[in-house]
Amino acid sequence: MLLELFTPSVQHALDLAGIFVFAISGALLAVRKNFDVFGIAVLAEVTALGGGLLRDLIIGAVPPAAFTDTGYFVMPLVATVLVFFLHPQVERIQNGVNVFDAAGLGLFCVTGTTKAYEYGLGLTYSAVLGLATAVGGGVLRDVLANEVPSLLRWDRDLYAVPAIVGAVMVVLCIQFDVLNAFTSGLAVVTAFVLRLLAMRFHWRAPRAWNRRSSAVEEG
């Protein structure tokens, strides 16, 4: 292994926490779309596991972790039950959920990049898969819910950019042979803080120069 950022038990607990929070976001969108309980469960599972599943299939890590660890599969179902019965209460703590979602984003962009590199990908494509690990589930969630993916919308606070920064930090550390627990943790924290700042100050990516679009911002 290139790097053990945490002990296996701590890493596993962090993975489950990230999966749970991502699943909450998928389940909440399903409730807003008036999906039934099966639809809620599907959207929770896809949101939580989609990015990691895509990464593992591309790098040949089969069967993917999502199919070898029962906890990975069960955690989104726990989120489904919670949201099914308590979605008004969960909606009220959405800001708190967003904070944990930002933490999951930071963690997964780093671990995804590291795992891709361990399986033989070059630095550039390792960073790409780190990004895919962090945001892929959200893209699949939005597509299944018939929404324009938040990742592509100009009226949403920066989401992919913090993950890109975290992934790039990891590959630069690999390039200069300084990847260790501290620098990896720094990449996680950097992506996390950037996402929090983007939510706090509504940072958004620029649109086309001198655009002529008549699109308006949605509420």
- Helices vs strands, H then E, count in the chain: 7, 0
pLDDT tens per residue across span 178-219:
998 899 999 999 999 999 999 999 999 888 887 776 555 554
Q: Could you tell me the residue range of the domain that residue 128 belongs to?
A: 8-201
DSSP assignment, residue 172?
A: H
pTM (2 d.p.): 0.88
Output the furthest CA–CA distance in the chain (Å, rounded).
53
Q: Which of 56, 59, 82 is nearest to 67 (CA)?
A: 56
Give a yes or no: residue 123 inside a domain: yes
Give a yes or no: residue 32 inside a domain: yes
**Number of domains comprising the chain:** 1
Give a yes or no: residue 206 inside a domain: no
Residue whose tokens read 């590291």 = 114
Backbone CA torsion sign across 89, 91, 95, 99: positive
For residue 88, give the 3-state DSSP assignment.
Answer: helix
pLDDT tens per residue across span 144-171:
999 999 888 888 999 999 999 999 999 9
Give a yes or no: residue 52 inside a domain: yes
Residue whose tokens read 């596991």 = 49
